[in-house]
A and B are shown apart, each in its own frame.
Chain A
Amino acid sequence: NAGVTQTPKFRILKIGQSMTLQCAQDMNHNYMYWYRQDPGMGLKLIYYSVGAGITDKGEVPNGYNVSRSTTEDFPLRLELAAPSQTSVYFCASSAFSNQPQHFGDGTRLSIL
């Protein structure tokens, strides 16, 4: 029972590089979310999607992009990595907006 799978688990980038964080869920959930977790700051919503083809900005979307071509996948793109994007990134999904979210184990990203 995989749930939400995130890859890679760890990554180090140089300033200005780009990369895509992958997220896949096998629960047929409509809603998917990307968060970043910084120490002592809780989780901040970056982007979310309410279904395939529909995405919207969260609280901290600058520097990121997303797409949702299928129900299962919700990749997060960093185009020009900056040190301020060093964080732990979590993907989550839920069946409906008022239902509990299921989280992946995170991607730890360092930008040097």
Chain B
Amino acid sequence: AQSVAQPEDQVNVAEGNPLTVKCTYSVSGNPYLFWYVQYPNRGLQFLLKYITGDNLVKGSYGFEAEFNKSQTSFHLKKPSALVSDSALYFCAVRDENNDMRFGAGTRLTVKP
């Protein structure tokens, strides 16, 4: 069965510094990978996805993610963090059977 892991519960960065939120996956077949963001008392919002094609995927709000098949990773990145990026981030994977799995989430805090 497929699974997704977010090894860090919490990531702290200073405003203006680059940020990385890590995600690794295990899936049979070709993965469909997603990143979502959740602000307090709101539902998840889609940031970006990888289905096929270029390994570097660009998404909303200046975020990007790099698909690495050999390391089975899909880390979320942003070159310069903003305080407003502080939120809960979820990685998700869908396999060829259309089963979707979400990671446990990583809380990103960007300090001024």
| Binding partners A and B | yes
Which A residues fall within an 8 A CB radius of B? Answer: 4, 33, 35, 40-43, 45, 90, 92, 97-98, 100-106
| Nearest chain A residue, comparing its CB with the CB of B94 | A98
| Nearest chain A residue, comparing its CB with the CB of B46 | A100
Q: CA separation between A104 and B38, bound complex, in Å?
A: 11
Q: Across the interface, do A98 and B32 meet the contact criterion of CB distance under 8 Å?
A: yes
Q: Across the interface, do B104 and A41 meet the contact criterion of CB distance under 8 Å?
A: yes
Cross-chain pairs A/B with CB under 8 angstroms, 5 sampled: A4-B43, A43-B102, A98-B32, A106-B41, A106-B43
Cβ of B22 within 8 Å of any chain A Cβ, yes or no, is no
Given contacts A97-B98, A98-B98, A106-B42, list 15 more A-B pairs with CB under 8 A: A33-B100, A42-B90, A42-B103, A42-B104, A43-B44, A90-B43, A97-B94, A98-B94, A100-B46, A100-B49, A101-B44, A103-B43, A103-B45, A104-B43, A105-B42
Q: Across the interface, do A42 and B102 meet the contact criterion of CB distance under 8 Å?
A: yes
Cβ of B56 within 8 Å of any chain A Cβ, yes or no, is no
Q: CA separation between A3 and B41, bound complex, in Å?
A: 17
Q: CA separation between A101 and B36, bound complex, in Å?
A: 9
Q: CA separation between A98 and B94, bound complex, in Å?
A: 7
**Contact indicator per residue, chain B 98-112, by CB within 8 Å of chain A (1) or not (0):** 101011110000000
Q: CA separation between A102 and B44, bound complex, in Å?
A: 8
| Nearest chain B residue, comparing its CB with the CB of A104 | B43
Q: Across the interface, do B102 and A105 meet the contact criterion of CB distance under 8 Å?
A: no
Q: CA separation between A105 and B40, bound complex, in Å?
A: 10
A41: chain B residues within 8 A (beta carbon): 104
Q: Across the interface, do A100 and B90 meet the contact criterion of CB distance under 8 Å?
A: no
A40: chain B residues within 8 A (beta carbon): 9, 104-105
B42: chain A residues within 8 A (beta carbon): 105-106
